Amino acid sequence: MHVVTDSTASLPPDLAERSGVHVVPLVVVVDGTPHHEGVDLTTEDLAALLGRRERLTTSQPSVQAFLDTYEAAASAGAERIVSVHLSGDLSGTVHAAALAARSSPVPVEVVDSRTVAMALGYAVLAAARAAEDGLPTADVVRAALRTASGSTALFVVDSLDHLRRGGRLSPAAAAVGSVLGLRPVLGVRDGRVDVVQKVRGRAAVLDRLVAAAVEALEEEGARVAMHHLGDDELVMACARRVRDATGQDVLVSPVSAVLGVHAGPGLVALVVSRDVAHRSGDG
């Protein structure tokens, strides 16, 4: 069995490769020219484009891009495929994958993780471990969904304007960011982006994320990832604070360029994944 995901999982390329995960890139359109993230556009490129206020939009992978990936997996020996993707409420990616699955030469089970970033990434890694263990398709899917549902994704941005304009945030939630001095902490709830906390000042927001990471790592088997959009030094400093407090490492990676387009500059994200995959004993 092979496992497929999309680039919004924000998986470090070496980790995806070691885990045998196929990653289908989403598309960032810069002034009318499409670029495939992770192929000919990096998060660092995106940060520079946002700084220059270039006109940016995004697009899900084409049905053909998914079909090409499924066919390549089949040619490499896959007899079954589990394809795990970001929330269907945030993108049509999972729908494109489902359409491609109908024409795949081998059976494909398409999974809507209902989440994003490394919350999706950890779900994909759980599926890859289950597949490596030779578990049936239903158990591989279950491992992905349980890990996704047991994960928390929190993030902060400099402005909510990008999310509101892109339709990823309700006007009521976006209005919170207009209150002087308040920094909303955003999260993914039921597959959609919402405000989960309100904190005064950016430093206090970062303190809140670090505290949440430290608290989470008190749980056995918990894992933490932090994402950035062009400010790796800031996030590395936060990760060091977490490591100093807990003795545990934090996975640090750039956020997906597509997520960066919708979140805008200044993005810092925290993902907590709890050990609810099949190796917890009842999968």
**CATH code at position 98:** 3.40.50.10170
Q: What is the pLDDT of residue 10?
A: 94
Whole domain around residue 99: which residue ranges?
2-149
Pair type for strands 108-112 and 182-189: unpaired
Helix (H) or strand (E) holding 83: strand 81-85
Neighbours of 253 (CB within 10 A): 23
Asked if 118 contacts 221 with a C-beta cutoff of 8 angstroms, the reply is no
One domain for residues 145 and 31:
yes
* Final residue before a domain boundary, out of 149, 168, 193: 149
- Are 173 and 140 found together in one domain? no
Written as one letter, the residue type at 148 is A
Extract the tokens encoding 7: 């680039």
Please report, in tens digits, the pLDDT of each residue of the chain (283 residues total): 999 999 999 999 999 999 999 999 999 998 888 999 988 888 788 878 877 767 788 999 999 999 999 999 999 999 999 999 999 999 999 999 999 999 999 999 999 999 999 999 999 999 999 999 999 999 999 999 999 999 999 988 876 766 766 666 656 566 655 555 677 788 888 888 888 887 887 888 899 999 999 999 999 889 999 998 877 888 999 999 999 999 999 999 988 888 888 877 778 999 999 865 434 443 3
Three-class SS of residue 154? strand
From CA 191, how far away is CA 194, in angstroms rounded?
10
Pairing mode, strands 251-254 and 108-112: unpaired
pLDDT value of residue 278: 39
* Count of structural domains within the chain: 2
Q: How far apart are CA 258 and CA 234, in angstroms?
A: 21
Angle separating helix axes 137-149 and 117-132, nearest 10 degrees? 150
Q: Are residues 11 and 140 in the same domain?
A: yes
Which residue, among 104, 116, 111, 105, has the nearest Cα to 128 in the 3D structure?
Answer: 111
Q: Say if residue 264 is in the same domain as residue 173.
A: yes
Same domain? For 175 and 242 the reply is: yes
Q: Assess whether 52 and 140 both reside in one domain.
A: yes
**Domain boundary pick from 101, 132, 149:** 149
Are 43 and 117 within one domain?
yes
Q: What is the pTM of this model?
A: 0.89
Give the per-residue pLDDT at 165.
67
Q: To 10 degrees, what angle do helices 232-246 and 202-216 make?
A: 40
Do 157 and 142 sit in the same domain of this protein? no
- Are 14 and 125 in the same domain? yes
Closest alpha carbon to 268 in 155, 173, 148: 155
Domain match, 52 and 96 both: yes
Say which CATH number the domain at 171 has. 3.30.1180.10
Neighbour order of strands in the sheet with 192-200:
192-200, 182-189, 151-156, 268-273, 223-228, 251-254
Last residue of a domain, one of 149, 164, 183: 149
Residues 184 and 141 reside in one and the same domain: no
Residues 114 and 199 in one domain: no
